């Protein structure tokens, strides 16, 4: 009955003073929104195509056709702005820093291809702009493979067969040969050899971004909410509660239940919102995982509350632990890029990550649920034990300490 009275008091306070809840939801959303906008601007700025010049010293039908094909290829043009220039113009623009590099097709290039010898295409890059220079090298290496594969075949067929045909048939056959050998060289129409690889801790970058936002919001929300809602009550109020046998143990237990209920509700709403975008699929395993995630996270908060630390310090400690935990779990930087010593199998943040990752991949994996339950029960039991020890230390008599 004593605990129930305190529960009603806490819930009435939450209804009458909803500011802590609203602030705990609004502040993380604002912070995450600002971070997303900054990252988006950086990505969009870095998405500008690499500017490079091509100097065609051979100036044949074949090299002109190649330059046009490379310039007009859809995906290549998104990453590379290839500008035909004379040698002197290209050199001046390169010296001014207007170009990431210059590609020069040497004189006699077509003739060498027709006899099976590929004269190298020289590429000069601006090492002062290392990012664009590296990107240009990667793009042009793919382009070089394209040139040597497709154009050699086209030129050979043209020299041995097509040039002897009538003009009308010659043009038709030439276009047919260009298309045929281009598609063959491009591996059925792709300029770059592609392989579907899942990244971002095996779930893909887009889903990894959703997961990072979800987990960051969760722990930011709880860090702020337990600080605003867990302020130390005045001594006179505590004494009045003690007169009806409501002790610090009750406070710790009720705070834990209240924070769990609120965190579970907020997290469920986030999960339901993501399910509407078809990012993840709802399942019993996911809902059970949300229950256990809210349990262990709020148990950590109640453990810090049981230590009777000031609200500001408790917020700072919770935030530092969460930052380290999220980083080690691979929530921000995929674990693929983290050192092995940073990844710990029993890390509750990693287990939380596994719950959401399984949902995003539509897998029914339940092995991590036991770990979350053990963390929740363990931290909660530790918090209540500390509160009980403090009661006995202060020699208060209550239903918990009476013999």
Cα–Cα distance for residue pair 83/268, rounded to 1 Å: 53
Q: How far apart are CA 108 and CA 118, in angstroms?
A: 10
Q: Which of 26-35, 103-112, 116-125, 320-329 has the lowest mean pLDDT?
A: 116-125
Average pLDDT rounded to a whole number, residues 233-257: 77
More confident residue, 304 or 162: 304
With DSSP H G I counted as helix, E B as strand and the rest as coil, what are the percentages for the chain, rounded to 5?
70, 5, 25
Let me know: does 337 contact 245? Beta carbons within 8 Å: no
Question: Which residue is listed with tokens 């276009």?
Answer: 175
Query: d(Cα 176, Cα 172) in Å, to the nearest integer?
Result: 6
Q: How confident is the model at residue 402 (pLDDT cuts 50, 70, 90)?
A: very low
**pLDDT score of 12:** 86
The pTM for the full model equals: 0.65
Confidence category of residue 317, pLDDT binned at 50, 70, 90: very high
Q: Please state, in angstroms and rounded to a whole number, the distance separating the CA atoms of residues 32 and 49.
A: 28
Tally Cβ neighbours within 10 Å of residue 287: 13
Question: CA angle at residue 178 from 175 to 184, to 5 degrees?
Answer: 140
Sign of CA dihedral 85, 89, 95, 96: negative
Query: With respect to CATH, is domain 48-185 assigned 3.40.1710?
Result: yes
86, containing H or E segment = none
pLDDT number for residue 361: 84
- Per-domain residue ranges of the chain: 48-185, 201-393
- Helix runs in 164-204, H state only: 167-185
* pLDDT per residue as tens digits for the range 221-230: 999 999 998 7
* Chain segment 51-61, per-residue pLDDT in tens: 888 888 888 87
| Comparison of pLDDT for 103 and 32, the residue scoring more | 32
Structural contact between residues 366 and 285, judged by C-beta atoms closer than 8 angstroms: yes
| pLDDT over 90 (residue 14) | no
């Amino acid at each position: 009955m004593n605990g129930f009275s305190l529960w009603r008091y806490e819930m009435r306070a939450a209804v009458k003073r909803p500011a802590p809840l609203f602030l705990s939801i609004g502040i993380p959303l604002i912070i995450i929104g600002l971070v997303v906008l900054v990252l988006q601007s950086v990505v969009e700025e870095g998405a500008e195509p690499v500017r490079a010049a091509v100097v065609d010293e051979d100036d044949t039908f074949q090299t002109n056709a190649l330059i046009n094909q490379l310039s007009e290829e859809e995906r290549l043009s998104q990453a590379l702005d290839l500008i035909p220039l004379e040698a002197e113009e290209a050199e001046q623009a390169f010296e001014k820093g207007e170009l990431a590099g210059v590609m020069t097709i040497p004189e006699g290039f077509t003739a060498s291809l027709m006899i099976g010898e590929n004269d190298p295409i020289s590429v000069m890059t601006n090492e002062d702009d290392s990012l664009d220079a590296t990107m240009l090298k990667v793009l042009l290496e793919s382009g070089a493979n394209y040139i040597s594969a497709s154009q050699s075949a086209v030129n050979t067929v043209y020299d041995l067969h097509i040039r002897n045909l009538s003009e009308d048939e010659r043009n038709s056959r030439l276009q047919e040969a260009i298309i045929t050998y281009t598609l063959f060289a491009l591996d059925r129409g792709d300029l770059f050899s592609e392989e579907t690889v899942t990244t971002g801790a095996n779930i893909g970058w887009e889903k990894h971004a959703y997961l990072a936002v979800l987990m960051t919001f969760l722990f930011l929300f709880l860090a702020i909410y337990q600080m605003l809602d867990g302020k130390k009550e005045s001594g006179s109020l505590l004494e009045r509660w003690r007169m009806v046998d409501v002790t610090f143990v009750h406070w710790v237990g009720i705070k834990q239940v209240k924070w769990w209920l609120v965190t579970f509700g907020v997290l469920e709403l986030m999960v339901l919102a993501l399910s509407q975008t078809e990012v993840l699929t709802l399942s019993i395993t996911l809902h059970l995982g949300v229950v256990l995630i809210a349990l262990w996270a709020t148990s950590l908060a109640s453990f810090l509350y049981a230590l009777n630390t000031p609200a500001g310090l408790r917020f700072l400690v919770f935030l530092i632990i969460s930052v380290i935990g999220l980083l080690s779990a691979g929530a921000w930087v995929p674990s693929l890029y983290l050192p092995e010593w940073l990844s710990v199998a029993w890390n509750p943040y990693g287990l939380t990550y596994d719950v959401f990752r399984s949902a995003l991949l539509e897998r029914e994996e339940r092995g991590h649920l036991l770990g979350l339950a053990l963390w929740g029960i363990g931290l909660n039991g530790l918090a209540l034990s500390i509160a009980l020890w403090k009661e006995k230390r202060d020699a208060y008599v209550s239903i918990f300490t009476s013999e």
